[in-house]
Structure 1
Amino acid sequence: MQAGVRCPGSPEAAISRDPAPRLKAIDALRGLVIVLMALDHARDFFHAGAMTFSPTDLARTTPLLFATRWVTHLCAPLFSLLAGVGAWLRLQRPGETRASLSRYLVSRGLWLIVLELVVMRVAMNFSLSMAYPPLLLVLWVLGLSMLILAALVWLPLSVVLAGSLVVIVGHNLLDPIRAADLGQFAGVWRVLHEPGVLPVGGIVAVVGYPLVPWCAVMAAGYGLGPLFGALADVRQRRLVTMGIACCVAFLGLRLMNGYGDPAPWSVQPSAVLTVLSFLNTTKYPPSLAFLLMTLGPGLLLLAWMDRRAWPAGQPLVVFGRVPLFFFVSHFFVLHGLAAVAALATYGRAAAAFLWMPLPSMGGPAAAFPPGFGYPLWGVYAAWLAVLVLLWPACRRLAARRLARTWTSESGRVATRALGGGSRAGR
């Protein structure tokens, strides 16, 4: 084959003929989100401090460590919001109906829950042993949120959007309700709003991501869907307006230091630590302040990305088109790299703890060597290694999806040209 000539079946050819009906800025933002998410998980697997304390513990953290964690706060809120936007965009496809969208959300939601309970346990623990409690985390809550959205799509968009905003703004009123005071309903409350231990049929699970308000964030994305069908300049102006409004609301709410977050900020021994205290909002469950602090910059970032051309082969776009594959795979890669690093550092002694969950994942700290883990530079090295290792597979998978989309779009055009594309003819 001559240089510069692309084979019709190659990833390069598929990328070059991208049908481009979708907003690549959304793919790029989603790609940025999962790339940042990989940084946070690299910290979980590699950083020595992650095994013993939270990076937002102002008594022990450093500004760089805090920033490494804080920037990844963007991930879950934006991923939930974009999942809702994606549901609305799916509804705009030719032939898509609310019924088919609802069925898709149910099947997708159940699949995500199964992935969390089975595949992610293997990725994090290298084992399905029930000696380690199941962790109900991001995929779990995304799956549950999709099940709820499957019902909400039957309601008017204005009702979905208004209801989601009410939940987002008002859910901190529920903070005084404690699962320990609810007796037999304690488990229900842990699933809904309070992280903690959840006994189920003799198995003890840990709810890290309660349903509220994550489901409302996804529903808000769906309610905002029509914005992404507007003209580009209109869409961008509104994104900027909403982003600025969220940022201003965050600053005002946080300065009042009352409602909006159960953990008030306080003056610290240094100005830097005081700023970190101000930014140290509650993620589990995400407070109103946390969501304003993350969704505001996220909307501004989306507006900025929307003003730029994004080639289909750009890395953020590629990663953003295969988010679930990247998410699941990067846990296996990180755990594998952590095992290799442990063998290189501790030699044969690593065999004693190599197949256990890391202390940061709930594993027994006493089974690991004192000071287990690596400096922060090791976290960034592992993060970059994951991106490099996953790039070829992500690029190929994204190209195949583009090829399928191109074929599907071509088929629709041909059908309409032959007069078979009307609803009356179906």
Structure 2
Amino acid sequence: MTLSKRILSIDILRGLVMIIMALDHTRDFFHIGAMTGDPLNPETTTGMLFFTRWITHFCAPTFVFLSGLSAYLSAQNKTPGKASSFLLKRGLWLIVIEIALITLGLTFNPFYNFIILQVIWAIGTSMIFLGLASRISYKTVLIIGLILVFGHNLFDLFPTPADPNGGMILKIFFTASGTILPVSSTHLVGVFYAILPWTGVMFVGYGVGAWYKKGYAAERRKRNLLIVGLLTIFVFISLRLINIYGDPAPRKEYHDFFKNLLAFFNVSKYPPSLQYTAMTLGPAMLFLAFTENLNNWFTRITAVYGAVPFFYYVLHFYLLHTLLVIVFFATGYTGKDIVQIPFWFRPATFGFGLPIVYSIWFCAVAALYLPCRWFKRYKENHKQWWLRYV
């Protein structure tokens, strides 16, 4: 697909969140407090540290939302059966990639003692469900998506089932915030992304995809995005003020304006609460509305990353972790310090302040620009079947 056939505003937004996402992973690898503190705790954080973590909240929901939107657009060129089959196969492929390739990039542990299931796992499983639901109807996908997004926090109101198997299933599908599953005495699986809340986000993105189909009026699309985006932000603000439903951890009150401000925006990502989803997807839809016809040097750069997000995503982990190994040895650590859980070469005492973290982040993103531009052009000029999966 050439750039002229792509929707530039989608690539711009996707590219922007991919760039911001790398900041969070750079912080995980290189910030002095990443392994020992909570950057979102109003009682212990600083404004800059809070912002550094909080701004990355927009990445996963926007990426999953756009994955659903892109799935709708891709299906327009296929029969329902072929579109469904592709989603099923790509979903399974993504789960395998999460386990085999991304876990290794995150941990650098060749023995896979700790397998990490996060956003690619959630996207893969959600694509499988989307492949099944889309065979029924577009309306079915949209209704299920809205029910999941608005209703999954109902599970926060009930106690965990006494049956351990039932409780584990509930965690994996609805409430996982760091569920550890022992596979053996030496191997663990960490489920950090509950499936169905993210499935809801993808299904809603699929529903919004209808606004981008051929023949849909651009002005009408922009109006829809503006209205729904503003309403979504209103839902977030209202629920946050009412402080009864929509987040498993109710907002805390402090006798300090700044801490109260931080607490207002400190919503739960694991799993993505209704308040978290509304806080992030509302601005994302407004961004899509205002960038439809935007074309300048900055948007052209971000669109490069957004055109090859999977390639960038995998590559940035290996680049950051390779840099971590170099700095690990350069700062005096030795072989006895390599094995750490979950990330090898990442002792809890290792790290730097935010200025160095931001510098490493900027250099890493810049270093990936040319590889991403090359791969984007390669995809534009080649039609091998496997390119549809990356």
Q: TM-score, normalised by structure 1?
A: 0.84
- Asked whether the 8 Å contact 2:133–2:140 carries over to 1, the reply is no
Q: Which amino acid aligns with 1:125?
A: T
Q: Please tell me the residue identity of whatever aligns with 2:150.
A: V
Match of 1:116 in 2: 98
Largest Rg, 1 or 2: 1
Counterpart residue identity of residue 245, structure 2: Y
Cα RMSD (Å): 2.1
Equivalent positions of 1:2-401 (< 5 A) are 18=2, 20-93=4-77, 96-130=78-112, 132-177=113-158, 179=160, 181-195=162-176, 196-200=179-183, 203-229=187-213, 230-309=216-295, 314-346=300-332, 349-354=333-338, 356-357=339-340, 361=342, 368=347, 371-401=349-379
Seen in structure 2, the aligned counterparts of structure 1 residues 201 and 341 have a Cα distance that, compared at 3 Å, is closer
Paired residue secondary structure (1:286):
coil
The Cα offsets for residues 58-109 of structure 1, whole Å up to 9 and x where unpaired, read as 222111111111111011111111001101110122xx11111111111111
Going from structure 1 to structure 2, the CA distance change for 1:329 and 1:25 (only over 3 Å counts) comes to: same
Unaligned runs of 5+ in 1: 1-13, 406-426
Q: Tell me which amino acid in the other structure corresponds to 2:209.
A: G
User: Which whole-Å CA distance do the structure 2 matches of 1:335 and 1:284 have between them?
Assistant: 24
Cα 1:342–1:252 change in 2 (3 A) is same
SS at match of 2:195: coil
Percent of pairs identical after alignment?
36
**Following the alignment from structure 1 to structure 2, what is the Cα–Cα distance between the partners of residues 312 and 107?**
35
Q: Deviations over 1:270-318 (max 9, x none)?
A: 2111110010001110111000000001111111111313689921111
CA distance in structure 1 between the aligned counterparts of 2:96 and 2:173, rounded to whole angstroms: 19
Equivalent pair of 1:109/1:147 in contact (CA under 8 Å): yes
Tell me the TM-score normalized by structure 2: 0.91
Q: CA deviation at 1:19?
A: 5.6
CA distance in 2, matches of 1:110, 1:249: 34
Name the stretch that deviates more: 36-45 or 104-113.
104-113
- Alpha-carbon offset, residue 120 of structure 1: 1.5
Return the offset for 1:200: 4.2
Deviation at 1:350, TM superposition (A): 3.0
Q: Is the 8 A contact 1:228 1:235 kept in 2?
A: yes
Q: Select between 36-45 and 20-29 the one with higher mean Cα deviation.
A: 20-29
Q: Is the 8 A contact 1:212 1:285 kept in 2?
A: no
Provide the rounded CA distance (Å) in 2 between the counterparts of 1:314 and 1:68.
24
SS at match of 1:206: strand
Matched to 1:198, the amino acid is: L
Structure 2 contact 43–259 (Cα < 8 Å) conserved: no
Where does structure 2 lack aligned partners over 5 or more consecutive residues?
384-390
Q: 1:204 to 1:187 in 2, by over 3 A?
A: farther
Indicate conservation of the 8 Å contact 1:148/1:215, yes or no: yes
Separation in 2 of the partners of 1:19 and 1:377? 35
Worse-matched range after superposition: 286-295 or 51-60: 51-60
Deviating more after overlay: 120-129 vs 162-171: 120-129
Cα offset for 1:339? 1.4
Please tell me the residue identity of whatever aligns with 2:153. Answer: N
- Give yes or no for contact 2:126–2:196 (8 Å, CA) kept in 1: no
Q: Is the 8 A contact 1:37 1:75 kept in 2?
A: yes
